[in-house]
Structure 1
Amino acid sequence: MGPPRAVIDAVQDQLGPLAGAPVALGGGITNHNFRARFGEVEVVLRIAGHQTELLGIDRASEQVATHAAAKLGIAPAVLAFIPEHSCLVTAFVPGVPLVDTVLREPPAMVKVARALRAFHEHAPALPTSFDVPQIARDYLTLARERGAELSSAAWDAAQLADRIAGALTGPEHALVPCHDDLLAANLLGDGKRVWLVDWEYAGMGDRYFDLGNLSINNGFTDADDRALLAAYWDEPCTDRRFAALRLMRSMSDVREALWGTVQVAISELDFDFAGYAARHLRRLAATTADPRFEGWLRDAATP
């Protein structure tokens, strides 16, 4: 099934007549994405999934973040925004997802690290926040209200988020504009540059969430994390920074697990969200059982 006719009409009003049938793009588990041509422009139509606002997504903030990233040269240009249809239209770029074996090596890792730092330091303040402990509490409340079964592990995950946040203080943890969803599918490369796409969760948060989220979603090792931090800060990695990144890997799993729990209750997409949540809770349990975990909490909190 293609985009609704009302969306096509609205985009045609801004970009010109549709040429050919839109083609569905796979890989998304929240929205519906289509590649299409309007006039002479090749675009991606991104149409919000059912009740995605309940996940904490603000479509106006997504548009602001995507436009800011495009100005920095790290995201495709925003060509149209149709708020009444929750549709964002961006230029199509011929990149492919960066598989972890490519992403974990230079030059891709360096390019992504520099892209993130550029956004963190030069993008304008965003109108939404990204506070994982608060998100965790909100997700649990919503999931319970919608009748989802909540395990003790889900409640423990929310408590862990508070504990990790308490250890991450100081200037490097000041709120900055962040992407917050650095899955492999959202990192595209064309052989010369990297593109960061899918800015729907962007908000003001801790830059180390982006770094930890990137790391755990793409299978980074300890050595990869140290290389990522060295590339990001353009200086050798410190124990405190390494600990902060490792803790944020766990924070990422908290968000993903509880996100999956909410999706079980609200999503209409054909996807195993219960299995998704369970996988992240298992990985979170394994991480917190690591004998180094308490040391990371201490190192991250040490000035």
Structure 2
Amino acid sequence: MTDLERRIAGLACWRGPVTVAPLLGGLTNLSYVVADAGEKFVVRCGDDIPVHHVFRDRERAASIAAHAAGLSPEVMHTEPGILVMRHVEGRTFSEADLRANIRRLAPLLRKCHLSVGQHLAGPPNFFWVFHVIRDYGRLIAGSQSPFAVDVPRYLEANRTLEEAQVPMPVVFGHHDLLPGNVLDDGERLWLIDWEYGGFGTALFDLANLSANGSFEEAEDEALLYAYFGGKGPGDLHRAFRAMKAASALREALWAMVSDIHLRIPGADYKAHAHDYLNRFEELMAR
């Protein structure tokens, strides 16, 4: 048993002897499933990551608010570097699942955008993808990253994509809709992992879902109609296409920064960066 596993096994929230097993697949945090007195819990372990604008007190507040809104598992215990939640039996989505479940995901996002912020306590995050890209660009440009040479081109594209945006209401969004952050228990969907939860606009979550699910044009149309019902702002489609490209670029730059600053077993950040750069280039070509 590692020192971290011993720390988890000794948390004061447990009712008896526990078993601790690694939960594989995360790109940022170490997670474990703990069995205690016939119940299961997920323990997320990680400190603040300032280079990614991740602050655990705000993730904790967003997770608690998302549970109160009926979207996320209950938070049972927190302490520095530790977040304990009830385990939900189910499966995480794949990209194909995102594409196949647009009619379930659109109302889930509407509920998120309308409800989570109403339950939030304490100082919030604000998420504006174009600022994130600029900040990531500065970090990468000042490093020895093999991607640094292309940062000026990425930042110029970022400027163009930001100019295509249209005014929209401020809502509370998830902002990290990778397939693995959507959980299906067979009856309903859950949103998990609120590291980037904060106020922004609905368009990023929609575009992020589309970019991460490799949606085609017909699926994008279905998503926008399911969410807006034909009542979106003018130039919505142009703004959405630009936001989708920005989402892919942000994910690529996230991986580049992670390659510099993070070490998570099994995470191949360079491959992740290349995957999302390919998506970004394809979206820009359209």
TM over 0.5: yes
Is residue 141–residue 151 contact of structure 2 (8 Å, CA) maintained in 1? no
* Equivalent residue, structure 2, for 1:135: 132
Q: 1:41-190 to 2 correspondence within 5 Å?
A: 41-48=39-46, 52-82=49-79, 84=80, 86-105=81-100, 108-124=101-117, 127-170=124-167, 172=168, 174-190=169-185
Is residue 166–residue 233 contact of structure 2 (8 Å, CA) maintained in 1? no
Give the residue type in structure 2 aligned to 1:98: F
Is residue 154–residue 281 contact of structure 1 (8 Å, CA) maintained in 2? no
Is residue 158–residue 254 contact of structure 1 (8 Å, CA) maintained in 2? no
Is residue 161–residue 251 contact of structure 1 (8 Å, CA) maintained in 2? yes
* Equivalent residue, structure 1, for 2:253: 258
* Equivalent residue, structure 1, for 2:202: 207
For residues 36-85 of structure 1, the C-alpha deviation after alignment (integer angstroms, 9 at most, x for no partner) is: 12334310000116x63321101111111111111121111111111x2x
* Equivalent residue, structure 2, for 1:273: 269
Is residue 181–residue 213 contact of structure 1 (8 Å, CA) maintained in 2? yes
* Equivalent residue, structure 1, for 2:280: 284
Give the residue type in structure 1 aligned to 2:211: I
C-alpha spacing 1:39/1:53, structure 2 compared with 1 (3 Å): farther
For residues 74-133 of structure 1, the C-alpha deviation after alignment (integer angstroms, 9 at most, x for no partner) is: 111111111x2x11111100110223334323xx32222111111112222661111222
Give the residue type in structure 2 aligned to 1:206: T
Distance in 2, Cα, partners of 1:127 & 1:18: 37
TM-score, L = length of structure 1 = 0.84
C-alpha spacing 1:205/1:24, structure 2 compared with 1 (3 Å): same
Give the residue type in structure 1 aligned to 2:22: A
Give the residue type in structure 1 aligned to 2:74: A
Aligned residues: 280
Give the residue type in structure 1 aligned to 2:140: A
Give the gaps of 5 or more residues in structure 1. Answer: 291-303
Distance in 2, Cα, partners of 1:264 & 1:114: 35
CA shift at 1:224, angstroms? 0.9
For residues 168-212 of structure 1, the C-alpha deviation after alignment (integer angstroms, 9 at most, x for no partner) is: 122x2x332111111111111122100111111112222111101
Identical-residue share of aligned pairs (%): 30
* Equivalent residue, structure 2, for 1:14: 13
Distance in 2, Cα, partners of 1:279 & 1:98: 18
CA shift at 1:239, angstroms? 7.3
Distance in 2, Cα, partners of 1:214 & 1:283: 13
C-alpha spacing 1:72/1:129, structure 2 compared with 1 (3 Å): same
Is residue 106–residue 227 contact of structure 2 (8 Å, CA) maintained in 1? yes
SS of residue matched to 2:235: helix
Root-mean-square deviation over aligned CA pairs: 2.2
C-alpha spacing 1:146/1:40, structure 2 compared with 1 (3 Å): farther
C-alpha spacing 1:253/1:60, structure 2 compared with 1 (3 Å): same
Give the gaps of 5 or more residues in structure 2. Answer: none
